[in-house]
A and B are shown apart, each in its own frame.
Chain A
Amino acid sequence: MKSAVVLLPGLNRDRDMIAALTKISGQAPATVWQTDTEIPDVDLITIPGGFSFGDYLRCGAIAARMPVMRAVAEKAAKGVMVIGVCNGFQILVEAGLLPGALMRNSSLKFVCRQVKLQITNANTMFTRRYQPGQIIRSPVAHHDGNYFADADTLARLEGEGQVVFRYAEGTNPNGSINDIAGIVSKQGNVLGLMPHPENLIEAAHGGNDGRALFEGALGIAA
């Protein structure tokens, strides 16, 4: 299974994502730059975290309008898997590939800590290596992770099983509605999440709770 990493000015977790994908899949991901209009033939596209374009206007707003995102949207429409982590999640909602919006943390503070996540839908390509209801650990580091969607959208997300990760055991770090930490698209092939599973994939990280996400997406045996 091949993967690609989208690069934009201001992202700072791209090297972490490249390292994680290389370690887990055994081959380095392709990299695509913001102005690229074509993405190579891959099974998984990832948009890493950071502060693309300095978070100007709104987090992810400028990045979402760059040419590469049209290419990401075309691939997503064809069923290619897409994972947006942190700023990548913000970019996906700004690009309209996922519903809702990510707002300033309710505490108004940047949060950098470990949280607990519950797998609320283990029946997706991204979560199939976890048990339903399983609680895993994951680092978070963001200022704008407060997920919001209007009541109709929220009811649809919950009803269709599109909420796949929820902050658990009182660890919601940002005031996110319904403790939502990560959602998938209606078709199930686009995932956005605020936590950083790529930063918890080996013993040196202090655990490998995030590894199964990439193994599931890439179809790699644990």
Chain B
Amino acid sequence: MIKARITVTLKNGVLDPQGKAIEHALSGLGFDGVGAVRQGKVFDVELAESDKAKAEADLKAMCDKLLANTVIENYSVTLT
């Protein structure tokens, strides 16, 4: 079995109002010097697959087809 972690983040230039709200909340808690905060998503996926290359290709296809909206989001796949 292969385990993987997929990270989905907003592309540069795409406004992230949730990240902005978190950024303000952190400042409000007294954390000075917090720069931009961007919110993203993490998916931990288990695959019944032993071929790492095949797993990676499948995971990328999953991102393109469902897990990320590539109009606004980037993704990265890491086998763990």
Contact = CB atoms under 8 A, between A and B. Distances in A.
Contacts of B17: 103-108, 146, 175
A169 interface: no
A200 B40 CA distance: 37
A65 interface: yes
Contacts of A148: 14-15, 71-72
Interface size range of chain B in the complex: 10 to 19
Interface in B43-80: 65-67, 69, 71-72
B65 A58 contact: no
A61 B72 contact: no
B27 interface: no
The 10 closest A-B pairs by CB, nearest first: A101-B71, A101-B72, A106-B17, A108-B17, A104-B17, A108-B21, A101-B69, A58-B69, A104-B18, A65-B66
A52 to B, nearest CB: 14
A45 B60 CA distance: 33
Interface string B9-46: 00000110110010000000000000000000000000
B67 A103 contact: no
Q: Which of A58, A105, A108, A149 has the most CB of B within 10 A?
A: A58
A216 interface: no
Contacts of A219: none
Interface of A: 57-58, 61, 65, 93-94, 99-101, 103-108, 146, 148-150, 175
Given A57-B66, A100-B71, A108-B21, 18 more contacts: A57-B67, A61-B66, A61-B69, A99-B71, A101-B69, A104-B17, A104-B18, A105-B17, A106-B15, A106-B17, A108-B17, A108-B18, A146-B15, A146-B17, A148-B14, A148-B72, A149-B71, A175-B17
A58 B66 CA distance: 10
B65 A94 contact: no
What is the predominant secondary structure among interface residues of chain B facing chain A?
Answer: helix
Contacts of A106: 15, 17
A108 B18 CA distance: 7
B65 A150 contact: no
A111 to B, nearest CB: 13
A197 B17 CA distance: 27
A113 to B, nearest CB: 18
Contacts of B18: 104, 108
A65 B65 CA distance: 9
Nearest to B21: A108
Contacts of A65: 65-66
Nearest to A151: B13
Nearest to A65: B66
8 contacts: A57-B66, A58-B69, A65-B65, A101-B69, A101-B71, A103-B15, A106-B17, A175-B15
